[in-house]
Amino acid sequence: MELRKSYFADVRKDDLHEIGQPRPRSDSPGHVTGKTAYFADRNFPGMLHLKMVRSPHHHARIRSIDTSEAEKHPGVVKVLTAKDVPHNVYTILTLIQIGPEDETVLADGKVRWKGEAVVAVLAETERAAQEAAAKVKVDYEVLPAVFDMEEALKPGSPLVNEYHGHNYYSYDSGACRKVRFGDVEAGFAEADHVLEQSYQSSPIEHAPTETTGCVVAPEGNDRFTCYTNTQAMFFTLDNTSIILQMPGSKLHFVGGTVGGGFGGKVDVIVEPIAVLGAKLTGRPVSFIYSREEEMQISSPRAAEKVVIKDGVMKDGRIIARKVTGYTDAGAYSRHSPYGAQKGAGHYPGPYTIPNVWIDTYCVYTNRTPSSAMRGFGVTIGDFALEVQMDKLARLIGMDPLEFRFINAYRDGDMKAHRQPTEGAALIECMQEASRTANWPVAEKYMAMSSYVKGA
Amino acid sequence: MAIRRGRGVAAINYPTGMNLGGDPTQALVHSTPTGNFMVTLSSVDLGQGMKQIMAQICAETIGVPTDRVVVDTADTDTGPHCMGTFASRGTHRAGNAVIQAAKEARQVMLEVAAEELEVNASDLETDGQGNILVKGAPQKSISIFDVALSAHFKRGRSISGRGMFLIPRSYPEKETGAMKPSTCYAHACTVAEVEVDDETGEVTVLTMKNVFEIGRALNPKMVEQQLVGGSWMGISHALYETTEPYYPNRDHGGTDFNQYLMPGPGDLAETEIIVLERPSADGPYGAKGPGEMCANPQIPAVANAVFDAVGVRIDTLPITPERILRALKAQAAN
């Protein structure tokens, strides 16, 4: 890595003692020698193991659940169903007043995706829990499912989630989050060329080294300590408190050292049911995802579809951009309504365009609920935007890098979501890329700056 | 049939924080009896190195070496509130909270030192080595060790501070979408060079030249590991990864690392990282959040390079050999 100190030298202090120093990380010797304690290193006498019975169907009504054989299985201590969970229907973002509550801790009456948790089995050993889980009999009536976002949005499509009443999230602005800036249709009418293209991604797994999980131990004073690898301690504690209808003062969460997250550990999935198991049995409980669960059950990055229509002039100026974004939330909201909204705030990227029209939808389908992942709401949008930029440049016969200089935002430029640009540095990044990659651009672009006089 | 070479560019920005949900983080800082400093947070270290960065920020602000600072993450019995580790907010939000807490602790420390040295606190400065000196008369000094002993055993003072960083929630305006989704933006421009085998559809990424602008590199070595890792993840997203290869079909999803494809060491491109620093107005020592931004520009840069090499557009991720071959076949048919 090289620090190029010549850029922005006039606005930077370089005389600090500790900041800017390449100090070795204090915790890395523990990590590389295997001495760092992770949550799963906690072991308690009498600890129970929790395994989930999961839906084999994408969408089905639950006619009945028979746990009698599982309960008789040697080593089984407790079997939990929806009726054991005090506040079984929840949503993570309820703490910041984003509803409705739309997801069950354990399925109640219906499953909406293949892999959904239905029954929790607590046993003396992992093997006993696994074997007993296989003995739980669930009678399902399979329902039609929908997997495609466009299908899901059509009238008459199977309804994925009754708590929403339709297969999209309702924002205060309606079925989508809108951004309106300038007059996009007037821009298209004036443009020398108009190009509309669609982009699509597939779900992606975070693939952390350490799988999701927690170990819960009763403290003996009516409190429960939950050793967890959550990325958000109080989000998890407060949601657990709501789900279990238990004062937060009874909960003590310990974490902070996590073997990779990338956004995959911000959902509150394992902790509430593990704490409930510890509460009802009075014994420590371990609930750790297998690698298969991590890959197929834990939230992936959402698949997204992005449709971009641009109006561009022969001289390289983009004068109108219309973006429609679709985020595949799967069966439940989790953080997806937030991600789709963040996407609306991100378009049209780091470019100054006078006429912008954006709609972003959060769509429900019968698949594994998606949620946050590194670059949430932005990564796939950037893929679509930057491939579109390449196509536009070639359409008008311009060098792709020079084309970006013409449109790059600079200090003071008004963005589509009506915030003036501050601290821009795109031009300088592109200038340095031009030099480093030996991709020459015209001298006038190398003379540009993100600073704008009077801004 | 041939191996064809191409290159592609992409430029991006990335927001720090999550103002659309409200974005608080708190920190507490206190001195031990011998003048070491404890930072208490409930922010999570996911392996990105938050503990180390918070130690350096606290040390810089108080005026001691980093190894005099211990960071405690994350215990809800002792740590104050943090929204969590996501949205590229860790260094920026927690760092600002730590600065505020450390400034308050530093002020108490200087007041105790001032009483010991019989001067005004405003006439004191730290040397960054563990001592407090009188400005202009450095021979008149006291160690932070002795200041802490005095505070704890003689003067009954708590050298401690409270820090809070809160961005109030931004509510988007319904009709126009006017909103403030974040505070500062990091930037990047990447140029990818690839080889595409037009017989097998296989893509080899030869070089990945990444320029990142991240406000300030608080610890350049840790920035480097984050940015190199992110660049790898970008290649992985572009060419390999998905849990549903035939989305929206639910079948064929990988269940282990044999089935879920990611590039191995032999697939890693020659990676170059260049960092520019334009300090952000509201960042801790100017830092922005580099964590997420660094995995994004490689994806479109690779897609554009594939087009440059073989003249087909793959607008669906990941860009697999199968998709490239199908596109080449369609191109030949036309």
Rounded CA-CA distance B184/B165 in Å is: 14
The burial class, CB within 10 Å (0-12 / 13-18 / 19+), for A250 is middle
Mean pLDDT of A308-319: 98
| Cβ within 8 Å, pair B315-A198 | yes
Sign of CA dihedral A248, A253, A256, A262: negative
- Predicted pLDDT of residue A453: 67
**Which of A216, A225, A419, A186 lies closest to A322 in space, CA to CA?**
A186
Contact state of B189 with A425 under an 8 Å Cβ cutoff? no
B83 part of contact set with chain A, CB < 8 Å: yes
* Contact of A107 with A116, CB cutoff 8 Å: yes
CB pairs A-B closer than 8 Å: 411
Assign A455 a pLDDT band (cuts: 50, 70, 90): very low
Q: What's the pTM value of the predicted model, to 2 decimals?
A: 0.97
**Helix (H/G/I), strand (E/B), else coil: B302:** helix
DSSP 3-state of A110: strand
Residue in A closest to B254 by C-alpha = A295
Please calculate the CA angle B31-B33-B34 and round it to the nearest 5 degrees.
90
Nearest to A206 by CA among A272, A274, A296, A271: A296
CB-based contacts of A137: which residues, under 8 Å, 6+ apart?
A65, A66, A69
Core vs surface per residue A394-432: b (16+ CB within 10 A) or e: ebbebbbbbbbbbbbbbbbbebbbebebebbbbbbbbbb
Cβ–Cβ of A7/B277 closer than 8 Å?
A: yes
Tokens of A409: 């935002």
A13 — pLDDT class (breaks 50, 70, 90) = confident
Locate B235 and state its tokens: 């290649």
* Average model confidence (pLDDT) across chain A: 97
Instruction: Determine the pLDDT at residue A454.
Output: 55
Residue type for position B286 = G
Any chain A CB within 8 A of the CB of B14?
A: yes
Residues of A in contact with B222 (CB under 8 A): 22, 25
Q: Please give the pLDDT value at position A98.
A: 86
Q: Collapse the DSSP code of A250 into the 3-class scheme (helix H, G, I; strand E, B; otherwise coil) and give the result.
A: helix
| Residues of chain A contacting residue B295, judged by C-beta atoms under 8 Å apart | 374-375, 379
Q: Has residue A131 got a pLDDT over 60?
A: yes
Going by C-alpha positions, the residue among A171, A38, A45, A193 that lies closest to residue A99 is A171
Whether B298 and chain A come into contact, CB under 8 Å, resolves to no
- Does residue B46 belong to the interface with chain A, where contact is any CB pair within 8 Å? yes
pLDDT digits (tens), chain B, 334 positions: 899 999 999 999 999 988 888 899 999 999 999 999 999 999 999 999 999 999 999 999 999 999 999 999 999 999 999 999 999 999 999 999 999 999 999 999 999 999 999 999 999 999 999 999 999 999 999 999 999 999 999 999 999 999 999 988 999 999 999 999 898 999 999 999 999 999 999 999 999 999 999 999 999 999 999 999 999 999 999 999 999 999 999 999 999 999 999 999 899 899 999 999 999 999 999 999 999 999 999 999 999 999 999 999 999 999 999 999 999 999 999 8
Q: Averaged over A307-311, what is the pLDDT?
A: 98
pLDDT on residue A96: 82
Nearest to A452 by CA among A413, A404, A419: A413
Nearest to B12 among A204, A349, A390 (CB): A349
Contacts of A214 in chain B (CB under 8 A): none
Judged by CB atoms closer than 8 Å, whether chains meet at A292 and B77 is answered as: no
* pLDDT tens column, A99-108: 899 999 999 9
Percent of chain A with pLDDT over 70: 99
Taking an 8 Å cut-off on Cβ atoms, the answer to whether B244 and A202 are in contact is yes
Report residue A163 as tokens: 């708590």
HSE-CB at B256 with a 13 A cutoff on CA atoms is 2
Judged by CB atoms closer than 8 Å, whether chains meet at B84 and A16 is answered as: no
> Is A260 in Cβ contact with B46 (below 8 Å)?
yes
Distance from CA of A422 to the nearest CA of B (A): 7
Rounded CA separation B236/A206 (Å):
11
Q: Which residue of A11, A17, A355 is the best one to mutate when testing the B interface, meaning the one whose CB has the most B CBs within 10 A?
A: A17
> What pLDDT, on the 0 to 100 scale, is given for residue A220?
86
Minimal C-alpha gap between B39 and chain A (Å): 13
| Contact between B278 and A358 using a beta-carbon 8 Å cutoff | no
Record: contact A201-B174, CB cut-off 8 A: no
Residues of A in contact with B224 (CB under 8 A): 1
* Closest residue to B286, CB basis, from A12, A22, A148: A12
A21, A114, A173 member nearest B174 (Cβ):
A173
Over residues A357-383, the mean pLDDT reads 97
Cβ-based neighbour number of residue B321 at 10 Å = 14
A1 and B227 within 8 Å at the Cβ level: the answer is yes
State the pLDDT at residue B1: 80
Q: Give the three-class secondary structure for A171.
A: strand
User: Do B179 and A385 count as a contact with CB atoms less than 8 A apart?
Assistant: no
How high is the ipTM of this complex? 0.97
Cα gap B204→B194, rounded to integer Å: 6
Hey, of B48, B92, B185, which one would you mutate to test binding to chain A, going by the most A CBs within 10 A of its CB?
A: B185
Residues A18-63: tens digit of each pLDDT: 999 999 999 999 999 999 999 999 999 999 999 999 999 999 999 9
Shortest alpha-carbon distance between residue A225 and chain B (Å): 10
pLDDT of residue B326: 98
Nearest chain A alpha carbon to B126: A17
Segment (H or E) for A285: strand A285-288
Question: Among the listed ranges A9-13, A419-423, B29-33, which one has the minimum average pLDDT value?
Answer: A9-13
Mean pLDDT of A326-352: 96
**Contact indicator for A193, A312 with CB cutoff of 8 Å:** yes
> Does residue A431 surpass a pLDDT of 90?
yes
Chain B residues with CB under 8 Å of A172 CB are 174
Report the alpha-carbon distance of residue A31 to residue A54 in Å, rounded: 34
User: Are the beta carbons of A350 and A426 closer than 8 angstroms?
Assistant: yes
